[in-house]
Chain A
Amino acid sequence: MAGLLRDRGRRPAAAGTTADSAALASAVGLPEARTDSSPLLDVSDLHVTFHGRRGRVYAVQGISFSIGRGQTLAIIGESGSGKTVSALAVMGLLPDSAHVSGSIRFKGEQLVGRSEHDLRAYRGRNVAMVFQNPERSLNPTMRVGTQITEVVRCHLLLDREQAHERAVELLRMVRVPAPERRFHEYPHQLSGGMRQRVVIAIALACGPDVLIADEATTALDVTTQAQIMDLLLDLQSQTGTALVMISHDLGLAASYAEDIIVMYAGQVVERAPAGELFGDVRMPYTQALLDAMPRIELEPHVLLPVVGGRPPDLSAIPLGCPFAPRCPGVQQDCREQPPRLAEHEPGRWWACWHPCGRGAPR
């Protein structure tokens, strides 16, 4: 806050150069990039169970991950794998019917079991989230600028003028052209890509330490997708915000993430640094995801190998490996004993009795 007041006189130059962006970033009070490696967010053995009228749904069954300053983590999985539920659990946005157990630590402080009042102070301020549908994530009857100033005035207690200035600076930072004019416009007057930028501006408004992007680019066309991802990474490198990107797109993760976690049926099944994962996949599920991606090296008119079957119903914890019914390399012990996630090689974790990859038969 002191930094903001000090820098108010300075008019930030047009965004584009790194030096200017850094000045912009400090002008809006975002945290400086530090080389501190202690984890900002540490999730350990997280379980989320929904209690509904028709019984229980075990959406997340004991996952763990952590992320530190300036890092980019990708959580990959198909629909129903529990990735969004985990993100909502970190934000504390799950409905009352969800029972959360395990540990979610932000800067050492435990978040599980905290009151709604405490969580509200931290939500949007320390950890922020960007959602999938930009058309629906913004209130259609509220001006874009007001939706930004709202979060700023709530957490940072700025007055109207200061909030207005900050909002315009944020819009400039996310590369929305003519930010002063856009401030007064309504969401439907902006294109999809611009709306998503506004959502990002809202998320970054209070300078959060962690940004969770849940399928943030899925609803956009490929060009816009690339622009938004580049923007996110740019902002990240200037401000040191940790980025958790949630997606079903392995290719996206390959291009932008440092570490990758693959989730299936509520569990983490593989975890590795991005560079190592793609050269040497261990989990058959991850391999199947990779195989199903269209690639330029493939022969034209070749059928993509698609994994048959459907993800398991999460109203019961599966007996053996959850992927067993669909796994091409399934064996008897896969069906009986659930494989545990373990660090079989330094930095590489997987949960499989018969992994593929180096030395193992496909």
Chain B
Amino acid sequence: MSVPAADILTTPVPAGPESEAAGRASGGWLRSAEITIPGAVLAALLFFCFIWPLVYPVPKPIGGSLLTTNLPLWSPGHILGTDTVGDDVMSRILYGGRVSFEVAAAVQVIGLVIGGLFGMLAAYRGGWLEAVLMRILDVFIAFPSLVLVLAISDSLGPSETHVIWALSAFSIPAFGRVARAATLRLRDQPFVVAARLSGSRAWRIQLLHLVPNMLPQLLTFSLLGAGITIILEGALDFLGYGIPPPGPSWGNMIAAGQSFMSVYPRFVLVPSIFLLVSVLCLNLLGDGLRARWGVR
């Protein structure tokens, strides 16, 4: 079933056209800030999640002592306090962040490589190969992948790797669609037609002409997709199908904090804020780059 305007999937977060009228000097500066600020915040988050614990003796995220439960914010040694079992909240945030970003990156890479490759090849070849592959893609898009994800997680057992594979069920078809739309658009451009007529081999054309031109679009799409993946991973953890507790993950923390919301709202609020900021930065970065690179 062909869905009209397949580019819709390439614009999950519409940025809006840039008008010449607004292009004053201040507009230029603001545009740059749209990219640098979220980029910097994201870089800081990544640094703190991955590199900081290697250099600074951060308390362990699990195995806390019952003597130090429910410490408030700004306690000595525990910046964000401790939770109901005595684990340091800050370190759980950091290690949980690791999980979120790892999963997001892995899922996007898998989607990009597998989905992007298939989409491009199918669209370039055309014919029955494309028709069959597109039908398969349609099936995956129509299929409520959340169910697939839940079923896989449930039967395989919760673990980070399983979460990654389960969430790839979302990203592979999505990238497939984007790559297909982009390839279709590029395939009939004069420079590609010229390359075909000059006798270049298909794989050369794809590698040298198609891929570089699709890259901006795929890159911005993966940034936006990373945000969605982080939310989904959190959802899985929240429902209990993701990272098994007591392993740190933002979704787990929110789920655990649910019961204490009226007494200690910070157990829900702190991971929620980090979740929001991460996804927001990814979205802003993706949006800003999309506007800067003029991707539709």
Contacts and interface: CB of A to CB of B under 8 A. Distances in A.
* Physical contact A–B (CB less than 8 Å): yes
Interface in B8-62: 19-21, 23-25, 27-28
Interface of A: 50-54, 95-97
Contacts of B28: 53
A134 B261 CA distance: 63
Interface of A is mostly: loop
A97 B24 CA distance: 10
B291 to A, nearest CB: 13
A54 B24 CA distance: 9
Contacts of A97: 20-21, 23
A53 B28 CA distance: 8
Contacts of B27: 53
Contacts of B24: 51, 53
Contacts of B25: 53
A52 B28 CA distance: 11
Contacts of A50: 20
Nearest to A95: B21
Contacts of A53: 20, 23-25, 27-28
Nearest to B25: A53
A53 B27 CA distance: 8
The 4 closest A-B pairs by CB, nearest first: A53-B23, A97-B21, A96-B21, A95-B21
A97 B20 CA distance: 8
- Chain B interface size band reads under 10
B17 to A, nearest CB: 13
Nearest to B24: A53
Q: Is the interface of B mostly helix, strand, loop or mixed?
A: helix
A96 B23 CA distance: 11
A95 B20 CA distance: 9
A52 B23 CA distance: 6
B265 to A, nearest CB: 46
Given A53-B20, A53-B24, A53-B25, 5 more contacts: A52-B20, A53-B28, A95-B19, A97-B20, A97-B21
A53 B24 CA distance: 5
A50 B23 CA distance: 11
A96 B28 CA distance: 18
Contacts of A54: 23
12 contacts: A50-B20, A51-B24, A52-B20, A52-B23, A53-B20, A53-B24, A53-B25, A53-B28, A95-B19, A96-B21, A97-B20, A97-B21
B21 to A, nearest CB: 4
A58 to B, nearest CB: 16
A58 B28 CA distance: 22
Nearest to B28: A53
A154 to B, nearest CB: 26
Contacts of A51: 24
A53 to B, nearest CB: 3
Max chain A CB contacts within 10 Å: which of B24, B27, B28?
A: B24
A97 B28 CA distance: 16
B24 to A, nearest CB: 7
Nearest to A98: B21
Contacts of B23: 52-54, 97
B292 to A, nearest CB: 13
B67 to A, nearest CB: 62
A50 B21 CA distance: 9
A121 B21 CA distance: 25
A96 B19 CA distance: 11
A51 B21 CA distance: 8
Nearest to A53: B23
A335 B227 CA distance: 60
Contacts of B19: 95
Contacts of A52: 20, 23
B99 to A, nearest CB: 43
A51 B20 CA distance: 9
Nearest to A96: B21
B173 to A, nearest CB: 32
B247 to A, nearest CB: 50
A54 B28 CA distance: 10
A51 B28 CA distance: 14
Nearest to B21: A97
Interface string B84-95: 000000000000
A141 to B, nearest CB: 16
B251 to A, nearest CB: 43
Nearest to A97: B21
Contacts of A95: 19-21
A52 B27 CA distance: 11
B27 to A, nearest CB: 7
B281 to A, nearest CB: 26
A45 B28 CA distance: 33
A29 to B, nearest CB: 37
A314 to B, nearest CB: 15
Interface in B189-248: none
A96 B22 CA distance: 9
A241 to B, nearest CB: 33
Nearest to B31: A53
Nearest to A54: B23
B30 to A, nearest CB: 12
A95 B28 CA distance: 19
Interface string B169-180: 000000000000
Interface string B140-172: 000000000000000000000000000000000
Which of B20, B24, B27, B28 counts the most chain A CB atoms within 10 A?
Answer: B20
Nearest to B18: A53
* Highest count of chain B CB atoms <10 Å: which of A52, A53, A54: A53
A51 to B, nearest CB: 8
